Amino acid sequence: MTDQNHFPTAGPAPTVPPAPPSRDGEPGLPLTPGQMSVFLAQAADPTSTRFQCAELLVFDDRPDVAVLRATVTDCLDQIEVLQSAVTATPGDDGARLVPHPHRYEVAGPLAPDGAVDLIDWCAARIAVAPGDDADRTSGVDAPFSLSGDMLSGHDLLDLPDGRFAWLARFHHVIADGFAVHVIIRWIAECYTARVAGAASPGVADRFLSHAECLGQAAQAASSPAREADLEYWRDLQFPASPPVLARHRPTPAPAAPGPRRTYPLATTTLSPDDHRALRTFA
């Protein structure tokens, strides 16, 4: 599998304080401040796809498709936030994470049209993820909710050049780019273990529970070092400008507005020098 990003996988879960208790009569758990920001932004623009994080993973050799499909589904069944709904709290400005079991089906292998730019094809596929409307809200008067296929979607692809790929999508309300990478790495490790007939790494070895994440966020918010951390970033003077990417190609706007909004999409190829420069800058 081609992997251009080399972030470390998660280690053992750190010791964190307990999560804030649920308010009387309310099921589920509250969101972290970052999750709440993403949720409110999505609620303000329900048809936007800009809060989805997609990865196109191209394989060096064709995998066992049946095993890969089953592994993706079985792994997603074990991730707490993907088996939940993020739902607005009636009469409140908040939202909560409540249990919402969902079986994620992996589509494909699909065959993108060779006459269509692959990135454009993937962007369109993400924008019309099947089932997301049914899972997002149950009615006009119902509280806004994110769940099921709105939180994640997966396609296996037979590319026009003969290579095999996996298009994975996760909503930013459940994971940032670093966490998405850890999820994908874990699924890849589970697939490798299954093919080899070995035991798969457990979900608890990779991810904190949502309650633990809340406890960690509360610990960070009350830490004496928080103000010093904020001051550091406010006053930071960058020694150099970030590298300029070599090229970008905005996707043309649609001729007529459709049921979903589209947003400019830019792609680029990083040279090894640019990659090192970005690493240094980060």
Encode pLDDT of 27-58 as tens digits.
788 888 888 989 988 888 888 888 988 999 99
pLDDT category at 23 given cuts 50, 70, 90 is very low
DSSP annotation string for 218-255: HHHHT-THHHHHHHHHHH---SSPPPPPS---PPPPPS
Q: What's the pLDDT at 262? A: 41
Determine the pLDDT at residue 17: 36
Kindly give the residue spans of alpha helices, DSSP state H, lying in 25-159.
Answer: 33-44, 65-76, 118-127, 132-136
Measured distance CA(150)–CA(46) in Å, rounded: 11
Alpha-carbon span 84 to 78, nearest angstrom: 11
User: Residue 85 is inside which H or E element, if any?
Assistant: strand 84-88
Residue 183 has pLDDT above 50, yes or no: yes
SS3 category, 181: helix
Q: Please answer whether residues 69 and 105 qualify as being in contact, where contact means their C-beta atoms are separated by less than 8 angstroms.
A: no
13-22, 41-50, 168-177: which is most confident: 168-177
Q: Residue 43 and residue 143: Cα distance in Å, rounded? A: 10
Cα–Cα distance, 85 to 136 (Å, whole number): 9
Residue 97 has pLDDT above 80, yes or no: yes
CB pairs under 8 A, 24+ apart, for 248-252? Answer: 251/120, 251/123
CA distance 55 to 168: 5
In percent, the amount of the chain with pLDDT more than 70 equals 71
- Tell me, what amino acid is at 132? D
State pTM to two decimals: 0.69
CA dist., res. 152 & res. 107, Å (int): 12
Q: Which residues lie below 8 Å from residue 165, measured CB to CB, with a gap of 6+?
A: 56, 57, 58, 59, 156, 157, 159
The better pLDDT of the pair 19, 73 is held by 73
Average pLDDT over residues 49-70: 92
Query: What's the average model confidence in pLDDT over 262-277?
Result: 61
pLDDT of residue 132 exceeding 50: no
Is the confidence at residue 77, as pLDDT, over 60?
yes
User: Any residues with CB less than 8 A from the CB of 232 and at least 6 apart, and which?
Assistant: none
CA 52/CA 175 separation, integer angstroms:
10
Q: For 9-26, what is the mean pLDDT?
A: 39
